[in-house]
Structure 1
Amino acid sequence: MPELPEVETVRRGLIPVMEGKQIIRADVRRPDLRWPFPENMAARLTGKVVERLRRRSKYILADLDSGETLLIHLGMSGRMLISTGTHPEIQKHDHVVFHMQDDARVVFNDVRRFGAMDMAMSATIADHKLLASIGPEPLGNSFDESYLVERLKGKHTPVKNALLDQRIVAGLGNIYVCEVLLRAGISPTKKAGQLSAAMVRSLVPIIRDVLGEAIESGGSSLKDYRQADGELGYFQHSFRAYGREGKPCLTTDCKGEIQRIVQAGRSTFYCAQCQR
């Protein structure tokens, strides 16, 4: 599933053709994806101007001049595909089509249909059932050392599971948590509450660095993920932990190798030599 950097990359790719632009027509080509589309979604989108495109965790939010917000979740294989001028033919899995002003077109393509769209009033979108319990953004000011120390204090779950908890921090996924913990030299199996305050504080700048690098690199392109313009992201070439089972650890002066274990049904990649 696309993680925060991938979703942020898609958002940035959509801004030139959607933000400040009118949706001339919206075509909704099936009744549902993961869940049913909101009632009269096509009519509620058609003719509206996208005043702002923003991101909350792994969701893209399009604030409309009607006072409503369109919530988009890419799911496992969702893609937002842009074309201008000459448009390719609509394909079987092109489920929602946004015909934008300036002869641009944005298509939501989702082979597995695990993605989702919903609409709600912009003034109350933060209370939407998918967003209400999400913690602070890891790149925002409210996510700082003091906050994370307090939230991890006394927790008996492994630190990796704690960082994946969207109630603690928004948008962190399996790939980037593995990368963060390797850089921090912290074992993913260590209980969150057993980390010293200094160790917890060290995680905050590392989280920001890893996510920032991934965003600048265009996101990772595992499986079905693509950027909005259809080009592959390439942060996966910089992975030090994820997917490198049996390969030498790239940490300076470390002689270990990357191992794979399973935690809460997800693959964890780490180096037992330098992650304690």
Structure 2
Amino acid sequence: MPELPEVETVKRTLEELIVGKRITNVLVKWPKIIKKPDDVEAFKMKVIGQTFKGVRRRGKFLKLILEDDVIVSHLRMEGKYKLTSIEEEFDHHTHVFFTFDDGTELRYHDVRKFGTMHLFPIGIEENELPLAQLGYEPFSDQFTPEVLQQGFKKTSRKVKTVLLDQTIVVGLGNIYVDEALFKAGIHPERVTSTLKENEIEELHAEIVNTLKDAVNKGGSTIRSYVNSQGKVGTYQDSLYVYGRAGQECKRCNGELSKIVVGGRGTTFCPACQINE
């Protein structure tokens, strides 16, 4: 699933590609992608005639901003957007088509069909699901070590599970949680209540730094991720632990291990990340 750096990269490329384009037609080949309104025809009639004014990101969600409404889009496992000409061929995994008045088309492609789109009037989307329960943006001034500490105090779950749930800080998934925990020297199974203040400060810093570095490198191209211009990210070349189980730790030269935490495969270094 694309995480914050990948979604931020898609956001930036979509801004270059679709802002200023007016929708003249919408084709939906897989209606289950449209979650709100539950009537696909109502979705189509609402957006046709509107112009894309901007693209924003909230956690792992894209906000495609129109004149009066906003499409909240989640890419899930395999979702991709691509701007093409109307004449370009498409395959059976292309499910939503936004046709523009300049002869181009924004197409949503999703092999697994897990992606979602919710349509809201501008201004209410943050107060409605799926955005309403999200935590702080990691690059915002509001996300501080104190916020992280307060969130950790409210639960006795394992630190990796808490970081994945999106209610304290958004945008983290399996890749960047594993990376941030390794860089902070924290075992993924540590219970949050056992973390000391200095450990939380270090973890906070590594969450922000890891995500910023990944954004600067266009995200991690693992499996099939590409941005909206078909370009791959390069952060996968900088990974310390994710996807490297059984390989040598880049810090201590020991062997990296893999366990399951909260149902997710988790790679860590037993020497660098001691479960105290």
Flag whether TM exceeds 0.5 (same fold). yes
The range that moved more, 4-13 or 230-239, is: 230-239
The range that moved more, 143-152 or 98-107, is: 98-107
> Would the aligned equivalents of 2:36 and 2:119 in 1 still touch at CA under 8 Å?
no
Distance 1:197 1:137 in 2: 21
1:65 to 64, 67, 78: 67
Distance 1:240 1:21 in 2: 41
> Would the aligned equivalents of 1:37 and 1:117 in 2 still touch at CA under 8 Å?
no
> Would the aligned equivalents of 2:221 and 2:234 in 1 still touch at CA under 8 Å?
yes
> Would the aligned equivalents of 2:214 and 2:235 in 1 still touch at CA under 8 Å?
yes
Distance 2:78 2:103 in 1: 26
The corresponding residue for 1:195 is 195
Q: How does 1:50-199 map to 2 (within 5 A)?
A: 50-66=52-68, 68-83=69-84, 87-153=87-153, 155-199=155-199
The residue type equivalent to 2:73 in the other structure is I
Q: CA deviation at 1:91?
A: 1.9
C-alpha distance 246-18 of structure 1, shift in aligned 2 (>3 A): same
The range that moved more, 127-136 or 217-226, is: 217-226
Q: CA deviation at 1:238?
A: 1.2
Q: How does 1:26-45 map to 2 (within 5 A)?
A: 26-33=26-33, 35=35, 38-39=38-39, 40-45=42-47
| 2:262 pairs with 1:264 | yes
C-alpha distance after superposition, 1:230-271 (max 9, x if no partner): 1222211111100101111112xx132211000111111000
C-alpha distance after superposition, 1:134-177 (max 9, x if no partner): 10111111111111111112632111111112111111101100
> Would the aligned equivalents of 1:220 and 1:236 in 2 still touch at CA under 8 Å?
yes
Q: CA deviation at 1:8?
A: 0.9
C-alpha distance 91-148 of structure 1, shift in aligned 2 (>3 A): same
Q: CA deviation at 1:26?
A: 2.2
Distance 2:56 2:13 in 1: 12
> Would the aligned equivalents of 2:218 and 2:235 in 1 still touch at CA under 8 Å?
yes
The residue type equivalent to 1:249 in the other structure is C
The residue type equivalent to 2:267 in the other structure is F
Calculate percent identity across the aligned residue pairs: 36
The residue type equivalent to 2:59 in the other structure is S
- Structure 1, unpaired ranges of 5+: none
Distance 2:199 2:93 in 1: 46
The corresponding residue for 2:205 is 205
What secondary structure does 2:258 align onto?
strand
- Structure 2, unpaired ranges of 5+: none
Distance 1:108 1:199 in 2: 41
What secondary structure does 2:143 align onto?
coil
RMSD over aligned CA atoms reads: 1.7
Distance 1:255 1:220 in 2: 24
